[in-house]
Amino acid sequence: MNFLFYLFCTLLYALTSNSFLLLARDLRWLLLFIPAFLFINAIPGLFLKTRSLRLRICNHGGRILAIFLASSMISVIWHIHLAIRSIPDDIPTLLWSMLLCVILEAILFWNGILCVYMTSVQLGIKQRVIGALCGMIPIANLIALENIIKISLAEARFEAKREALNHARRKDRLCATKYPLLLVHGVFFRDSNFFNYWGRIPADLIENGAVIYYGNHQSAASVEDSASELTERIKAIVAESGCEKLNIIAHSKGGLDCKYALSKLDAAPYVASLTTINTPHKGCIFADVLLTKIPEQVKNKAADMYNAALRKFGDSNPDFIAAVSNLTASFCASLDCDNIPEEIYQRSVGSVMPKACDGKFPLNLSYHLVKYFDGPNDGLVSTDSFKWGSNHRVLTPKGRRGISHADMIDLNRENIDGFDVREFYLELVHELKEQGL
């Protein structure tokens, strides 16, 4: 039915945009063509079953761009036929017909492109720029437009299905764990109301019954200082909420901070589980090399710039050099913070990028450096480094696209073929619930 509906819309719009000859004979055709024009510009994509207006508009934009592409091809064929028939006898008729067609098709195009550009998350900056640059280049503009249509429609379908899935299982409360979750960020980021480090993950977990808190610690500090901050944060959450304990999910350096807090400080009695995500438990050899090779003056200048910038974003005492130094393989080898009480459930997860182009900047640049010194990696951390304890998982991509360090926290809000990061976290948290945690 969908195919037949959009085929009907395409043919109707092609007839409308190429209606000059009919209108020249009888203006009463406007009674058909004006409603058809308004209907196709306003309605086709809004039938998507979702509560999200953004997704309906995104789907609408993709649908009418598809109608534009098909109807434009029909219009080209029609005007080639008209040109053969009209030249040289009736060129004004040909020109007026072409003008009407161009205007109506342009309205449909801009309607669709504005809809997807304003609402699609998956298009990203790259596809938007490519679309803009290729707009006036024959053939290239068709390829770019086809990609835009595919991406926007796939996003709308995927998100609508995910919304329906969450709605259907909401009563199951799959993520309603005994103890709340504490999400702990990695280095060089802060928990913020304006930019969620964990992307779309928290909203889905909450919708499925989870209670979530955030570490709220500084973006760059030594493992010891971050662990001290987190210990105080954990105690405060437990005291204020009366939850007794927390389930910690920590990404990147956040895993090292939490291990230190549990093994060397007094956070352990308040923690039920620790899950580390792409944490460099054995450090990064390439970090040792960089800190050795980069001149001291350059390191200090970069540190001063970063520390000054992050103070403006809320860090009271950021320490760029300490944070980076604590990610080295030499430091992690001396850290000795694996003596976490056995009653705390422990597990680790990591992911792999088979090739550099799987990651976005700057991970696509660091990938080769990490691979040279550390081996297969996620753009920052090697597969050997993020393995910790007896309960660990290595996520290998099912499709052609790898899973980067940033993908594991949905930093780019990207839907990856073969890996649904939100569903992955839902499964992680559901396992905690099954464990009685």
Residue-wise pLDDT tens digits, 233-283: 999 999 999 999 999 999 999 999 999 999 999 999 999 999 999 999 999
Q: Strand 181-184's sheet: what is its strand order?
A: 212-214, 181-184, 246-251, 271-277, 345-351, 392-395
- How many CA atoms within 13 Å lie on the side-chain side of 165? 12
375-424 residue pLDDT tens: 999 999 999 999 998 899 999 877 778 899 999 999 989 999 889 999 99
pLDDT given at position 84: 86
pLDDT given at position 262: 96
Contacts of 18 (CB under 8 A, 6+ apart): 74, 75, 78, 79, 97, 100, 101
| pTM, 2 dp | 0.89
Domain segments of the chain as ranges: 2-164, 173-434
Q: What is the mean pLDDT of residues 88-99?
A: 87
What 43-50 contacts at long range (C-beta under 8 Å, 24+ apart), as own/partner pairs, is: 44/5, 44/6, 44/9, 45/115, 45/156, 48/156, 48/157, 48/160, 49/160, 49/164, 50/156, 50/159, 50/160, 50/163, 50/164
94-130 residue pLDDT tens: 899 999 999 999 999 999 999 999 999 999 888 888 9
pLDDT given at position 304: 87
β-bridge pairing 212-214 and 181-184: parallel
User: Confidence class of residue 307 from pLDDT cuts 50, 70 and 90?
Assistant: confident
User: Confidence class of residue 192 from pLDDT cuts 50, 70 and 90?
Assistant: confident
Q: Which fold has domain 173-434?
A: Rossmann fold (3.40.50)
User: Confidence class of residue 19 from pLDDT cuts 50, 70 and 90?
Assistant: very high
